[in-house]
Structure 1
Amino acid sequence: MDRSTPTTRVWGRAALLAAAALLAFPGAAAADGDGDDKGDAPTEAGTSFRTATPIRPDQEATAEASTGDYLYWAFPVDTGQRATVHATVKLPDAAARHAASTWQVDVYDGLRRRQACRLGTPKRTVAPDAASVSLSCTLRTVRAWSEQWANDPLPGTYYLRLTVTGLKADDLGLPVRAETKVTTTDAGGAQAVDGSLAEPLVPGAGSDRQRPAAATEPEDGWSSGWWSSRWLWTAAGGVLAALAGVGGYALTRGSGRPARVPQGM
């Protein structure tokens, strides 16, 4: 025999429905991200913005180059994402080098504006006998929209450039191996803003050997800023408000006694 009161049953159902509302959207988002095909890992790098080699998030890329070369990769970053670029350079044999070297990574957006690093070590000087050097740069969260005068990161194609500076002329041309990878995380609704770009910032498609504009588009397309976790909390808030109304009605019903009939009726 169920001895629970109607009010207890109402609030029990409310809790279950609220939990379901909170879990529904993250589960769908996770399902959409499963089974992504990262494709074959690139084994070369471009030498300019126009020939940057396209890579996708979480895809490891390598390139054989010479010390002193400028190496470029292009990758997509969408609204609400925070990207981190990683680069490791396998340096030439120590016996062939004459002095220390300084390596750095720079990240540019679709308008070729250099973006500042929030975290990481984008520049590092290594000794002549070092075997490798690792660099990283975490960008600010990509916004759906920004004022024209601002330098905020916006959705579109981004460029990773790997270079060496402060190098003696005797060390130019020595063989190196570069390994790069880009990872992204979702910042959540706290970073969401109203408004969106008409189009993501991607380079125009031309007759270049490679076309980062097409190759770096996300497999599911650009979000255009329509989705953020604020939608989740708004929906959950609406569900909880409705359930609170049902619960309030149940509480004010009293013990089920019939309403008092006015005298003289």
Structure 2
Amino acid sequence: MRMTRVLGAALLTLGLAAGPAAADSSPSPGASEDTDAPTRAGTSFRTATEIEQGQTATANASTGDYLYWSFPADTGQRPTVEATVKLPAEHAAETWQIDVYDGLRRRQACRFGAQTRTAAAGAASVELACALRTVRGWAEPWSGDPLPGTYYVRLTAVDVPASVLGQPVSAEVRVGSQDAGGAAAVDGSLAEPLVPGAGVTRDEEEKSGDEALLASLEPDDGWASGWWSDRWVWTGLGGVLAALAGIGGYALTRGAGRPPRVPPAA
């Protein structure tokens, strides 16, 4: 009976501790959509328009333009970038492509999604997507793994025929992410996130005469917000269960090997 109570208390502790961990592994809602979403795009890495996760940014452009946006991604997140390009009523077949780069301007591979897609002649729109790998807290320089910091989105038409160049188009870009949880945790972290212009104030930027936009957005609860994960929970619970198993084994085996008690002589 006593062991049953102990195991019941352990299971209750397991349920209470695993609750927050399960919540952490749910999709990250990011910033809610609002009327402050950007309505333009940059034309290079240095002038990329900043957007928050959860926002839908729009821009009017011409076929052949390079459109750039940037967004923050923190440790443990799996960002997904989606883009929709609305095409004119009459146009020839054209191919559009979306690329994502990290703070070091390294092109990141997509786990899945239609990164390049060809719109048939006369098609009203074309949709693209790129789901990135999990952002890691630390990685070897040669690995090319995604690291926390600013990410850049580039949207453009490729192999554009001359008859299509300059036609008006409108683009929508959305960024969301999921929390990978403790399964993606690593032992290590960057001293600073890969954010261009980090540590440079706006006054210093104006004095230098550089009008380029520096990345200023960060996750809602700050960088390295993913230091806590369910990895800590399951590690602690594993230790608790191991201790209970030891206590139970001792309780079952104590007394084994002792000589039987001999009743005293009458």
Q: TM-score range by the shorter chain?
A: 0.7 to 0.9
Residue 19 of structure 1: aligned partner: 15
Counterpart among 48, 61, 67 of residue 65 in structure 1? 61
Amino acid at match of 1:229: D
Deviations along 1:58-115, one digit per CA (max 9) or x if unpaired, are 2111111111111101011111111111000000111xx2x21110001111011111
Asked if the contact 1:53–1:210 (Cα under 8 Å) also holds between the matched residues in 2, the reply is no
Asked if the contact 1:196–1:224 (Cα under 8 Å) also holds between the matched residues in 2, the reply is no
Residue 37 of structure 2: aligned partner: 41
Seen in structure 2, the aligned counterparts of structure 1 residues 159 and 214 have a Cα distance that, compared at 3 Å, is same
Q: Does 1:159 align with 2:132?
A: no
Seen in structure 2, the aligned counterparts of structure 1 residues 34 and 185 have a Cα distance that, compared at 3 Å, is closer
Residue 215 of structure 2: aligned partner: 213
Asked if the contact 1:7–1:251 (Cα under 8 Å) also holds between the matched residues in 2, the reply is no
Counterpart among 170, 181, 189 of residue 163 in structure 2? 170
Counterpart among 76, 80, 94 of residue 80 in structure 1? 76
Q: Any unmatched runs of 5+ in structure 2?
A: 256-260
Seen in structure 2, the aligned counterparts of structure 1 residues 245 and 198 have a Cα distance that, compared at 3 Å, is same
Residue 182 of structure 2: aligned partner: 189
Deviations along 1:138-196, one digit per CA (max 9) or x if unpaired, are 11111111112221111110000000112222322211110111111122222222111
**Aligned counterparts of 2:229 and 2:5: Cα–Cα separation in 1:** 33
SS at match of 1:143: coil
Moved more, 42-51 or 15-24: 15-24
How much has 1:248 moved relative to structure 2? 4.7
Residue 258 of structure 2: aligned partner: none
SS at match of 1:170: coil
Amino acid at match of 2:149: G
- TM-score for both structures, normalised by structure 2: 0.82
Counterpart among 173, 192, 199 of residue 199 in structure 1? 192
SS at match of 2:154: strand
**Aligned counterparts of 2:124 and 2:44: Cα–Cα separation in 1:** 27
Amino acid at match of 1:160: V
Deviations along 1:185-211, one digit per CA (max 9) or x if unpaired, are 122222222111111101115455564
Residue 96 of structure 2: aligned partner: 103
Aligned-CA RMSD value: 2.8
SS at match of 1:137: strand
Seen in structure 2, the aligned counterparts of structure 1 residues 127 and 25 have a Cα distance that, compared at 3 Å, is closer
Asked if the contact 1:38–1:56 (Cα under 8 Å) also holds between the matched residues in 2, the reply is no
Amino acid at match of 1:22: A
Seen in structure 2, the aligned counterparts of structure 1 residues 15 and 225 have a Cα distance that, compared at 3 Å, is closer
- Percent identity of the aligned residues? 64
Asked if the contact 2:94–2:118 (Cα under 8 Å) also holds between the matched residues in 1, the reply is yes
Q: Any unmatched runs of 5+ in structure 1?
A: 255-259
- TM-score for both structures, normalised by structure 1: 0.83
Seen in structure 2, the aligned counterparts of structure 1 residues 79 and 45 have a Cα distance that, compared at 3 Å, is same
SS at match of 1:214: coil
Deviations along 1:36-65, one digit per CA (max 9) or x if unpaired, are 555521111111111111111121111111
